[in-house]
C-alpha cells in the first residue's frame, strides 16, 4: 500500500481482492468524503481488513452490542470521570509493582516491558479487580492477544472461509478469550457485586454475559494495538530528543510541586503522583500533549478501511460502487510535506500556537480519527501514556542502547505496512535504566 501510494503519485488506484473492488484514495478532498460520508461504513471496512478477535469467528451470538454506537455508549459508561479518577491511583500501583520487578538497574525492551505496563492498565480499565490482580492470568491473556495479532495473515483476512492454520489459531485464541472473560463475568454476576469494576457496571446496565465479554474483548484489543505501542514510541523519541525530554520532565516536576504537599522523601514516588487530580493530568501538561500528538503523527500511518454501503459515489474521479471498499493511508496526511515541514522529524513544536501545522489542511491530523469516527478511547489512552511517561521520566534515568549495550540514537521505524499497529521495523533499541527513587 505504502509503495503503491508513491507509485500512484497521489492518484487513486484500484485493485481486486477476489470478488471485491478496493479503491485506494488520497488528498484533502478525499479525506473529507472518507471521514464524513455516512455511506462509507467503518465496521464493514474493519471487518474485512483488520484481524481482531470477533465473536462471529466462534459462532457466539450477542444481542445488544451489534453496532459501533452500542459499543461507544458502553465505553462512555466505563469512562466516566469519577471512575477514571478512582482508578488513577490503582493504575500507578500497578505500574509500580511491575516496574519493581525490573530491579534497580538494567536494560529493558520497551516494546515488551513498557508494553506490558499498558496491557496491565488496559485490563484494569476494561475488566475487574480479580483479573487485574492475577499476573499469571494477565500473561496468559497477553499471549492470546499476541496470537490473534500474529494470525492476521493476508490469507486469513482475504480468504476467511479457508481453514488455514492462522484461521484455526485465531478461532482457538478467540474461544480461549471468550471462556476466560466469561468466567469472570459469571462469577461477578453470581456474587452480585456492586463495585465500580467495568463488569459490574455493565451487569447493572442490564447487559447479558456475551455482550459484556464482547465489549471487554474489543476494548482490550484497542488498548493492545494502539496505546502500548505509542507509549513505547514516545519514550524512544524523547530518548533521542533531549530538549523535549527536559521540557517534559520539568513540566511533570512542576505538576507534582503544585499538587502535592508531601515531602518528596516522605512518600513513595508513585503514591505522590497519585495525589495529582485527574483534571490536572488532563489539562496541565501541554508539553506531554504535544509529545503524544507528535508521536502518534509519526507512528500511526496505517491504512484505514471503509466499505460503501450506499449508492455509487465518485471519489477523486474514481467510481466507488456500492459494495466496494475504500482505503486511505494516514501517511497521506501525517507525512505530507505540504502539511508538515520535515515530516519525518520528531518536532512536537509544530503543533504549538503560532505554527499549528496541522491546521493547514482540512482534517490535517488524524491521530485520534476524524469526522464520524473520532476515537472513543482517547481520554484513557492519553492518561495511560502520561502516567508511564511520568513514572519513567521522573522515577528513572534511561538511555537508549543497541543490542550490544552501546548508546545509540538510531531508532527503528514504525511498520507502515502493518494494518493493525505500528510495531518497530529495524534493529531493536533497548532502554538502559537506573531507578532513581522509591
Q: Interface residues with ligand HEM (CB under 6 A)? A: 42, 68, 71-72, 75, 219, 222-223, 226-227, 230, 296, 300, 304, 366-369, 373, 375-377, 380-381
Distance of CA 354 to the CA centre of its chain: 29
Look at residue 43 and give its three-state secondary structure: helix
For 163-227, give the secondary structure using H, E and C: CCHHHHHHHHHHHHHHHHHHHHHHHHHHHCCCCCCHHHHHHHCCCCHHHHHHHHHHHHHHHHHHH
Nearer to ligand HEM among residue 89 and residue 369 (C-beta): 369
- In order of 94, 245, 263, 288, 395, the CA distances from 256 in angstroms are 19, 17, 11, 14, 12
Residue whose entry in the numeric block shows the C-alpha cell 465518485: 314
The C-alpha cell that represents 73 in the structure block: 455508549
Burial state string for 23-35 with b = 16 or more CB within 10 A and e = fewer than 16: bbbbbbebbebbb
In the complex, the smallest distance separating the C-beta of residue 381 from ligand HEM, rounded to whole angstroms, is: 4
In the complex, the smallest distance separating the C-beta of residue 76 from ligand HEM, rounded to whole angstroms, is: 10
Distance CA 63, CA 304 (A): 27
Cβ proximity of 199 and 83 under 8 Å: no
Nearer to ligand HEM among residue 184 and residue 233 (C-beta): 233
Nearer to ligand HEM among residue 228 and residue 239 (C-beta): 228
Nearer to ligand HEM among residue 68 and residue 155 (C-beta): 68
Residue partners of 254: CB distance under 8 A and separation at least 6: none
Query: Was 232 annotated as part of a binding site?
Result: no
- Identify which of 227, 228, 220 has the alpha carbon closest to the alpha carbon of residue 181: 220
In the complex, the smallest distance separating the C-beta of residue 401 from ligand HEM, rounded to whole angstroms, is: 26
In the complex, the smallest distance separating the C-beta of residue 35 from ligand HEM, rounded to whole angstroms, is: 6
In the complex, the smallest distance separating the C-beta of residue 105 from ligand HEM, rounded to whole angstroms, is: 29
Residue nearest to ligand HEM (CB): 377
Rounded-to-10 torsion of CA 299, 301, 302, 305: 140
In the complex, the smallest distance separating the C-beta of residue 218 from ligand HEM, rounded to whole angstroms, is: 7
In the complex, the smallest distance separating the C-beta of residue 155 from ligand HEM, rounded to whole angstroms, is: 23
Nearer to ligand HEM among residue 166 and residue 303 (C-beta): 303
Distance CA 196, CA 293 (A): 31
Distance CA 43, CA 30 (A): 19
| Beta strands 20-25; 325-329: pairing state | parallel
Phi, psi (deg, nearest 5) at residue 95: -60, -45
In the complex, the smallest distance separating the C-beta of residue 223 from ligand HEM, rounded to whole angstroms, is: 4
Nearer to ligand HEM among residue 185 and residue 216 (C-beta): 216
- Identify which of 299, 311, 310, 317 has the alpha carbon closest to the alpha carbon of residue 27: 317
Nearer to ligand HEM among residue 223 and residue 239 (C-beta): 223
Nearer to ligand HEM among residue 102 and residue 368 (C-beta): 368
Q: How many CB atoms lie within 10 A of CB 8?
A: 13
Known binding residues are 375
Known binding residues for heme are 375
Amino acid at each position: 500500500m505504502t509503495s503503491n501510494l508513491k507509485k500512484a503519485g497521489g492518484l487513486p488506484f484500484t485493485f481486486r481482492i477476489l470478488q471485491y473492488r478496493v479503491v485506494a484514495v488520497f488528498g484533502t478532498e478525499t479525506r473529507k468524503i472518507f471521514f464524513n460520508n455516512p455511506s462509507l461504513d467503518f465496521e464493514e471496512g474493519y471487518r474485512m481488513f483488520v484481524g481482531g478477535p470477533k465473536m462471529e469467528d466462534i459462532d457466539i451470538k450477542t444481542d445488544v452490542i451489534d453496532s459501533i454506537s452500542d459499543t461507544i455508549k458502553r465505553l462512555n459508561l466505563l469512562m466516566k470521570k469519577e471512575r477514571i479518577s478512582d482508578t488513577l491511583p490503582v493504575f500507578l500501583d500497578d505500574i509500580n509493582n511491575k516496574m519493581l520487578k525490573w530491579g534497580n538497574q538494567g536494560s529493558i525492551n520497551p516494546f515488551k516491558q513498557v508494553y506490558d505496563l499498558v496491557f496491565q492498565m488496559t485490563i484494569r480499565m476494561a475488566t475487574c479487580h480479580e483479573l487485574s490482580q492475577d499476573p499469571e492470568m494477565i500473561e496468559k491473556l497477553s499471549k492470546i492477544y499476541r496470537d490473534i495479532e500474529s494470525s492476521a495473515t493476508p490469507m486469513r483476512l482475504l480468504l476467511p472461509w479457508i481453514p488455514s492454520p492462522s484461521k484455526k489459531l485465531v478461532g482457538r485464541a478467540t474461544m480461549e478469550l471468550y471462556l476466560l472473560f466469561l468466567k469472570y463475568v459469571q462469577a461477578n454476576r453470581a456474587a452480585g457485586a456492586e463495585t465500580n469494576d467495568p463488569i459490574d457496571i455493565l451487569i447493572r446496565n442490564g447487559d447479558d454475559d456475551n455482550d459484556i465479554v464482547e465489549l471487554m474483548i474489543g476494548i482490550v484489543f484497542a488498548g493492545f494495538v494502539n496505546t502500548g505501542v505509542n507509549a513505547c514510541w514516545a519514550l524512544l523519541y524523547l530518548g533521542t530528543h533531549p530538549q523535549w525530554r527536559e521540557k517534559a520532565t520539568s513540566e511533570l516536576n512542576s505538576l507534582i510541586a503544585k499538587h502535592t504537599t508531601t515531602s518528596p522523601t516522605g512518600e513513595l514516588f508513585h503514591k505522590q503522583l497519585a495525589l495529582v487530580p485527574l483534571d490536572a493530568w488532563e489539562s496541565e501538561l501541554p508539553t506531554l500533549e504535544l509529545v503524544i500528538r507528535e508521536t502518534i503523527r509519526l507512528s500511526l500511518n496505517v491504512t484505514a478501511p471503509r466499505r460503501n454501503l450506499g449508492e455509487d459515489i465518485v471519489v477523486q474521479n474514481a467510481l466507488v460502487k456500492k459494495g466496494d471498499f475504500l482505503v486511505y493511508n494516514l501517511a497521506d496526511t501525517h507525512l505530507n510535506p505540504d502539511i508538515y515541514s520535515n515530516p519525518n522529524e520528531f518536532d512536537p513544536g509544530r503543533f504549538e500556537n503560532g505554527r499549528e501545522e496541522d491546521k493547514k489542511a482540512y482534517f490535517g491530523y488524524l491521530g485520534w480519527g476524524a469526522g464520524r469516527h473520532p476515537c472513543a478511547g482517547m481520554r484513557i489512552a492519553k492518561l495511560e501514556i502520561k502516567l508511564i511517561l511520568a513514572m519513567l521520566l521522573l522515577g528513572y534515568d534511561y538511555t537508549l542502547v543497541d543490542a550490544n549495550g552501546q548508546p545509540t540514537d538510531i531508532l527503528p521505524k514504525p511498520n507502515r505496512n502493518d494494518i493493525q499497529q505500528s510495531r518497530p521495523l529495524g534493529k531493536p533499541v533497548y532502554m538502559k535504566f537506573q531507578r532513581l527513587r522509591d
